[in-house]
Copies of this chain bind each other. A is one copy, B any other.
Amino acid sequence: MTTREQAAALDARDPLAPLRELFTLPPGVIYLDGNSLGALPKATPARIARAVEQEWGQGLIASWNNAGWIDLPRRLGDRLAPWIGARAGEVLVADSTSVNLYKVLHAALQLQQGKRKIVVSERSNFPTDNYIAQSVVRSHGGELILADSPEDIPPLLDERCAVLMLTHVNYRSGRMHDMALLTRWAHQAGALAVWDLAHSAGAVPLDLLGAAADFAIGCGYKYLNGGPGAPSFVWMHPRHQGQVWQPLTGWLGHAAPFEFSPEYRPAAGIQQYQCGTPAVLAMTGLDSALDVFDEAAKLGGMGALRAKSLALTEAFIAEIDARVPTAWVATPREAALRGSQVSVALPSDIDSYAVMQALISRGVIGDFRAGTPALLRFGFTPLYTRFVDVVDAVSVLADVLATEAWRTPEFQRRSAVT
């Protein structure tokens, strides 16, 4: 257990502490939901205002060239690349995570040339991944097979498996897969590995090239802080360059889009994953957010971020153990298996939804996920979360439970928060 003074001392000597100053956080709020929507970087409003007022308002159509709009998908991809273990030129920012998953799953199945048609994933994967996979396997005459637990995955990697598709860090449990190991197992079985980095990028070390993964996609608005609905990213291992086809054949994935030629001819590399015109204002938010990561790189980069993230989640788990002993920590206690969030289940006679509403009413913002068990999720973005936040959040949780504040009628309704 950590006293508030000890936590404050940890914050005082935290080498990443200056990064918190780069974010706007509402006063009185402990924000532990950056795994769902990252906080606003302080520089972003002015950056977006410039894009709106100068680039669009004054530059008008010429800004496609003069403000570099046309290059945003590649330029943001280049900026992201080092944070996911890829190289410049291999990553593209475009569309949504769901749409990018659709592209790479089709590409992966097409690489298997119809000889293998089974996609293996987890039942507890984020629904959109499994929904998209259901659609893609349907069009290839294949099948989606879902493992009930991580331990059930390896036996499914057999000679019929075309693609192993996993979310690296599970959205419910916060459990992290061993990307290198599972990719190797998939390859040994002749399958390809597609990784969804939605809950990883910006929060945990990633080495796509080192793992020799085949495809990856991820989200711009969680740990990357690109803003609500910020565009997604997509990566393909360079060994597949020129070998694949993806079906969303919009004009900006063409080898020469401004030739306006009648026949589609895909660009050679990652560019072929671009489809329509980039959402400039949304991309500008992500561009600004990546400036924060430039600062993080100067303060120790992902090594320092991961060390702090683990220290935060470890401290949170210890506080829960000490102060909310009836709670079950659904997230692995083993550091290597943990992302940057901790999920907590309460005894079933306690309405966890109402508990989260009570927490939010007292300024502790996590979120609630229905299911068995229902989970309280707490995200620990190392860029802006402090050790005192950990101690204070558990204090409030312990108090909400001790006083049964969650029984207050206003906390009982359901809502549609993502």
Q: Tell me if A386 is interfacial: C-beta within 8 Å of chain B.
A: no
Contact across chains for A416 and B258 when beta carbons are under 8 A apart: yes
Is the beta-carbon distance between A229 and B260 smaller than 8 angstroms? no
Residues B134 and A263 in contact, CB atoms below 8 Å apart: yes
Do residues A49 and B60 form an inter-chain contact, with CB atoms below 8 A? no
Which among B97, B123, B415 is the interface contact of A262 at CB below 8 angstroms?
A: B123
Cβ-defined contact, A52 with B227, below 8 A: yes
Residues of chain A in range 222-276 having any CB-CB distance to chain B below 8 Å = 227-232, 247-252, 254, 257-264, 275-276
* 25 pairs of residues in contact across A and B, judged by CB atoms under 8 Å: A29-B60, A37-B64, A39-B60, A40-B52, A56-B227, A61-B417, A62-B360, A69-B229, A95-B96, A98-B248, A98-B275, A99-B99, A102-B247, A102-B248, A127-B251, A130-B264, A134-B249, A134-B263, A135-B248, A135-B264, A138-B247, A228-B279, A229-B283, A259-B370, A277-B418
A45 located at the interface, meaning its Cβ lies under 8 Å from any Cβ of chain B in the complex: yes
A64-B418 in contact (CB<8A): yes
B56 touches A40 (CB 8 A): yes
Q: Are A260 and B127 in contact (CB under 8 A)?
A: yes
Question: Mask for A95-133, Cβ within 8 A of B = 1, else 0?
Answer: 111110010000000000000000000010011101110
Contact A128–B26 (Cβ < 8 Å):
no
CB distance from A189 to the nearest CB of B (A): 24
* Bound form: Cα–Cα A278–B56 in Å: 21
Residue in B53, B62, B98 whose CB lies within 8 Å of A251: B98
Please state if B281 and A227 are interface contacts (CB–CB under 8 Å).
yes
> CB of A285 within 8 A of chain B?
yes
Question: Which chain B residue has the least Cβ–Cβ distance from A370?
Answer: B260
Residue interface mask A195-237, B partner, CB < 8 A = 1: 0000000000000000000000000010000011111100000
Q: Does A311 have its Cβ within 8 Å of any Cβ on chain B?
A: no
CB distance from A411 to the nearest CB of B (A): 14
Number of copies: 2
State how many angstroms separate the Cβ of A330 from the closest Cβ of chain B: 15
Contacts of A285 in B (CB 8 A): 52, 281
A418 to B128, alpha carbons, bound, how many Å? 33
Q: Is the CB of B44 within 8 A of A279?
A: no
**Considering the complex of A and B, which 3 residue pairs feature the smallest CB-CB distances, nearest first?**
A96-B276, A98-B250, A128-B251
Cβ of A33 under 8 Å from chain B: yes
The smallest C-beta distance from A27 to any residue of chain B, in angstroms, reads 9
Contact B56 A228 (CB under 8 A): yes
Q: Are A260 and B369 in contact (CB under 8 A)?
A: yes
Check if B254 sits within 8 Å of A131, measured CB to CB. yes
Given A228-B280, A276-B99, also A135-B417 (CB < 8 A): no
> Hey, which chain B residues are within 8 Å of A33, CB to CB?
60-61
Cβ contacts under 8 Å, A131 to chain B: 249-251, 254, 264
Q: Does A146 contact B (CB under 8 A)?
A: yes
Residue numbers in B under 8 Å from A57 (CB-CB): 24, 26, 39-40, 45
Does residue A139 face the partner (Cβ distance < 8 Å to B)? yes
Decide if A395 is an interface residue (CB 8 Å cutoff). no
A398 adjacent to chain B (CB < 8 Å): no
> Is the pair B281, A65 in contact by a Cβ cutoff of 8 Å?
no
Contact B97 A276 (CB under 8 A): yes
Q: Compute how far the CA of A264 lies from the CA of B232 in the bound complex, rounded to whole angstroms.
A: 22
Question: In the complex where A56-B40, A65-B417 touch, is A48 in contact with B281 (Cβ < 8 A)?
Answer: yes
Q: B95, B260, B418: which contacts A95 (Cβ < 8 A)?
A: B95
Question: Considering the chains assembled together, what is the distance between the CA atoms of A96 and B63 in angstroms?
Answer: 19
| Residue contact A275 to B65, C-beta cutoff 8 Å | no
For the complex, what is the distance from the CA of A58 to the CA of B360, rounded to whole Å?
Answer: 13
Which chain B residues lie closer than 8 Å to A135 at the CB level?
A: 247-249, 264
Please determine whether B53 and A45 come into contact, CB atoms closer than 8 angstroms: yes
Known A260-B371, A282-B282; contact A418-B37, beta-carbon cutoff 8 A? no
In whole angstroms, how far apart are the Cα atoms of A228 and B365 in the complex? 33
Chain B residue at smallest Cβ distance from A71: B416
Interface check A31, CB cutoff 8 A: yes
A174–B62 Cα distance when bound, in Å, is 21
